[in-house]
A and B are shown apart, each in its own frame.
Chain A
Amino acid sequence: GAGVSQSPSNKVTEKGKDVELRCDPISGHTALYWYRQSLGQGLEFLIYFQGNSAPDKSGLPSDRFSAERTGGSVSTLTIQRTQQEDSAVYLCASSLAGGSSYNEQFFGPGTRLTVL
């Protein structure tokens, strides 16, 4: 079946603009994660959705970042008033279940965001 898809694959924006990044998880996966991968850095956890539960937003770096997941499927990560330090690859992942399960996460190809 189809894997995790993300769009756009690349986004170039000007400082101060808002951007929306989209993630389509694998069908049937109830858990969805967003990560940020900056140049030369590992993966930084941003936010976690599990079913209809309240999301864990503890990794969001500032209040300019927000995310939602509609209908338990597609997710959108929104960055308002982008800054140059927001430039990174944003990765989305999904898994069969979150919580304390041991299911591996499946990653999308990422969206490379460049803020000029």
Chain B
Amino acid sequence: AQSVAQPEDQVNVAEGNPLTVKCTYSVSGNPYLFWYVQYPNRGLQFLLKYITGDNLVKGSYGFEAEFNKSQTSFHLKKPSALVSDSALYFCAVRGDSSYKLSFGSGTRLLVRP
């Protein structure tokens, strides 16, 4: 079985401050981890993924995520938040022998001016 937990329903940050959106996972075998963003009335947009290698993954729009195997976490980060980053963020995982993605429940990020 595989699953993702996003413990925060909402994260509030001020523009210009760093942001972190938390994600922990459970999976058999090696994890493939993904972050997606969803803007209102839009589909999900791919941000970044971890497959193997460097634990710090850089993605679109200045986002990055850090894979931590011992803590089974894959937190999304950005050094300086923008108001336009306000959206719904989903973490997803699949095992290296599975094709099914399991998604977290989503975290709403609100960046205030």
Contacts and interface: CB of A to CB of B under 8 A. Distances in A.
A98 B94 CA distance: 12
B67 to A, nearest CB: 13
B27 interface: no
Interface in A82-112: 91, 93, 98-102, 104-110, 112
Interface in A32-70: 33, 41-43, 45, 48, 50, 56
Given A42-B90, A42-B105, A107-B36, A98 B99 contact: yes
Interface stretch (B17-25, B45-53, B77-85): B45-53
A104 B49 contact: yes
A23 to B, nearest CB: 11
Interface in B47-68: 49, 51
A113 interface: no
B51 to A, nearest CB: 5
Given A50-B99, A100-B98, A102-B49, A91 B32 contact: no
Interface residues of A, number: 26
A4 interface: yes
B97 to A, nearest CB: 5
A102 to B, nearest CB: 5
Given A42-B106, A48-B99, A106 B46 contact: yes
25 contacts: A6-B43, A31-B99, A33-B101, A42-B90, A42-B104, A42-B105, A42-B106, A43-B103, A45-B100, A45-B102, A48-B99, A56-B99, A56-B100, A100-B98, A100-B99, A102-B96, A104-B46, A104-B49, A105-B46, A105-B101, A108-B43, A109-B41, A109-B43, A110-B42, A112-B41
